[in-house]
Amino acid sequence: MKFSDLATFFEKLEKTASRLSLIDILSDLFKQTDKEEIDKIIYLLQGRIAPFFAPVEIGMADKTIADAIARAFDETREDVLKQYSKMGDIGLVAQQLSNKQQATSNKISVEGVFEILRKIADTKGAGTVEKRIVFLSDLLRKVDPVSAKHLVRVPLGKTRLGIGDPTVLDGLALAILGDRSKRKLLEKAYNETSDLGLIGATLLKEGLEKVQKLTVTVGRPIRSELCERLPNPLKVFEKMGDEIHATPKYDGFRVQIHKNGEDITMFSRNLENMSHMFPELIEGARKQIKAKTAILDTEALAYQPDSEEFLPFQETTKRRRKHDIDEVAKTLPLKAFVFDILYVDGKSLIDTPLHERVKILEKILHKGDILLPAPGQILTDPKDLQIMLDDSISKGLEGVVVKRIDSLYEAGGRNFNWVKLKRHSAGELHDTIDCVILGYIWGKGKRTAFGAGALLVGVYDSEKDEFVTVSKIGTGLTDDEWRSIKLKTKNLVRTTKPARTNSLIAPSVWVEPSIVIEVLADEITRSPLHTAGKNGIKDQRSKIKDQNEQGYALRFPRLVNFRDKDKKAEDATTVEELIKMFEQQGKQ
């Protein structure tokens, strides 16, 4: 396929907000795609040249891209940057300047472009910046204006196409399997490999049967299993059986550790490769994992073993950084509490029951002071679970995670095989809600100085792959928090509603769904103003038909924390979770 043809599809996708139409366009694209290029096209759709988890970066930020555009179209860097700050999108600048130059060439193929982007990423050593600028500016001269627009967005990872992973899977299912509902047949492979390009290529080259055989491998992150919520120990035993496995819930961040000989790779919950961030965990994994290959599921946090002191999440999260890593590793060393093993010596364990996995883990993990086994207990009495919960909370932990002892590891699943029990105080929900910022509503008075009066926030509808509103948050944010929100959303503000945003409220400006905040509310209520759960998933308590005309909303919401470092917009609380929390209210 010629890159200009792909850019025409990108252009159509960018102009489309309806999800069904996005799927149709993707399906048309995939039908015209050759089996040798499908993986590359899927990565480019995501603003990548490799799967998300691969540490392959093109390594060009705004300013070097501006240099390349300037070089390609005989402009000055200052002029390009000036136009960029006016238009807010480097793609539009490239398109406009390319138009002026009447660049009309459109012969280069997708593979050709991809190869050059790979070369840019692989460039190392002296003169890297200059070489990258030359590669990109040469490429820009070889493409037409629309291609230039979409091309320069790739290094920034901002395609502006509004496509999430489920939509790509829907598009593949429709194009190749004839029906988007067949996405379900691709999901297991997705959950176990996290690589949409691999799935697309396998589907086109070898068929559905081979896709369904794709499974866990060291080096490719497995999508994490997550927890449901229950209000108290009694309900846990009612729902999960007579015997349960309970571990403390640590409040750090999830780290999936992959060992392949001396090679250690680590992934975050949202599948980012974080290996370079935690040298001490790499050291610990090399020393303490008694197997050639293994995958461990862990929670990493700053912990002082002598005083048994767990540092709060805000402290731990300071370790997720790109600079001064060795320095900070010394002042804030991390421990990883290991609670599961998913692979050992060439064998996947995800279809092995939890009680066996725990035994294997005990054998594999050497004693040491970096990887610490999460103390698990098999309990049969709600009273003992209450004691463990109180004990965890008194130690400053978040609560307890309870697991069904015979459950298999359900990659990407959130169901009653794993349940979290947390502390809570009167007048609050049992748990916080992770919301995505969807817009600002300008305020009056002092707040306007910071550019916001209230935030329009939403949750994720995973079925429809869209973001739906649940609340406006105005009070309770400090001036510093407003400043920080403004800074974080600087390049995400839009004047028209972004794709995949479903809202009845029109804010003063929209914000591209990307920033996740943790919100505490007193209650979940029904509201006709909000789109979460509206006309969608049925509220099981509702006897009244009209109730499904109502959405779900948060009462007295307040910001607790930013979660943008460890959660993508799609990792926010889902509508299904919100409805379950609604149903559990008042059942404490």
- Least Cα distance to 285 among 369, 194, 374 occurs for 369
Measured from the CB atom, is 247 or 501 closer to ligand ATP? 247
Can you spell out the DSSP letters for 476-525?
A: T--HHHHHHHHHHTTTTEESSPPTTEE-SS--SEEE-S--EEEEE-SEEE
**Given candidates 48, 183, 220, 249, which one binds ligand ATP under the rule CB under 6 A?**
249
Taking only Cα atoms into account, the Rg of the chain, rounded to an integer number of angstroms, comes to 25
- First-to-last C-alpha distance (Å) of the chain: 58
By the rule CB under 6 A, 465 interacts with ligand ATP:
no
**Closest CB 247 distance from ligand ATP, rounded Å:** 4
By the rule CB under 6 A, 460 interacts with ligand ATP:
no
By the rule CB under 6 A, 250 interacts with ligand ATP:
yes
By the rule CB under 6 A, 570 interacts with ligand ATP:
no
Can you spell out the DSSP letters for 307-369?
A: TTEEPPHHHHGGG--SSSHHHHHHHS-EEEEEEEEEEETTEE-TTS-HHHHHHHHHHHB---S
Phi and psi of 414, rounded to 5°? -135, 100
C-alpha separations of 253 from 62, 391, 551 in Å: 30, 21, 31
Q: Residue 440 and residue 447: Cα distance in Å, rounded?
A: 12
Q: Residue 187 and residue 116: Cα distance in Å, rounded?
A: 32
**Closest CB 575 distance from ligand ATP, rounded Å:** 14
Residues 214-243 that bind ligand ATP (CB under 6 A): 224, 226-227
C-alpha separations of 269 from 221, 263, 300, 352 in Å: 9, 20, 11, 22
Measured from the CB atom, is 206 or 390 closer to ligand ATP? 390
Measured from the CB atom, is 354 or 364 closer to ligand ATP? 354
| Helices 110-122/38-45 angle, 10° precision | 70
User: Among the candidate windows 23-31, 92-100, 247-255, 468-476, which touches ligand ATP by CB under 6 A?
Assistant: 247-255
By the rule CB under 6 A, 46 interacts with ligand ATP:
no
**Closest CB 113 distance from ligand ATP, rounded Å:** 37
Stretch 333-352: interaction string toward ligand ATP, x if CB under 6 A: ------x-------------
By the rule CB under 6 A, 268 interacts with ligand ATP:
no
Q: How many residues at the interface with ligand ATP, by CB under 6 A?
A: 13
**Closest CB 191 distance from ligand ATP, rounded Å:** 15
**Closest CB 224 distance from ligand ATP, rounded Å:** 6
**Closest CB 270 distance from ligand ATP, rounded Å:** 10
Measured from the CB atom, is 223 or 249 closer to ligand ATP? 249
Q: Residue 491 and residue 574: Cα distance in Å, rounded?
A: 25
- Catalytic residues, by residue number, are 249
By the rule CB under 6 A, 392 interacts with ligand ATP:
no
Name 541's Cβ contacts closer than 8 Å, sequence gap at least 6.
583
By the rule CB under 6 A, 357 interacts with ligand ATP:
no
- Residue 161 in tokens: 């196409």
By the rule CB under 6 A, 84 interacts with ligand ATP:
no
Name 569's Cβ contacts closer than 8 Å, sequence gap at least 6.
436, 460, 467, 513, 514, 515, 516
By the rule CB under 6 A, 299 interacts with ligand ATP:
yes
- Least Cα distance to 165 among 409, 500, 512, 577 occurs for 500
By the rule CB under 6 A, 265 interacts with ligand ATP:
no
By the rule CB under 6 A, 374 interacts with ligand ATP:
yes
H/E element, 33: none
By the rule CB under 6 A, 560 interacts with ligand ATP:
no
Read off the DSSP letter of residue 109.
B
Give the residue nearest to ligand ATP (CB). 226
Strand partners, 460: 467, 574
**Closest CB 258 distance from ligand ATP, rounded Å:** 17
By the rule CB under 6 A, 254 interacts with ligand ATP:
yes
Residues 420-439 that bind ligand ATP (CB under 6 A): 420
Measured from the CB atom, is 27 or 247 closer to ligand ATP? 247
Measured from the CB atom, is 20 or 378 closer to ligand ATP? 378
**Closest CB 313 distance from ligand ATP, rounded Å:** 8
User: Among the candidate windows 121-129, 244-252, 304-312, 478-486, which touches ligand ATP by CB under 6 A?
Assistant: 244-252
Q: Residue 414 and residue 404: Cα distance in Å, rounded?
A: 13
Residues forming contacts to ligand ATP in the complex (CB under 6 A) are 224, 226-227, 247, 249-250, 254, 269, 299, 339, 374, 401, 420
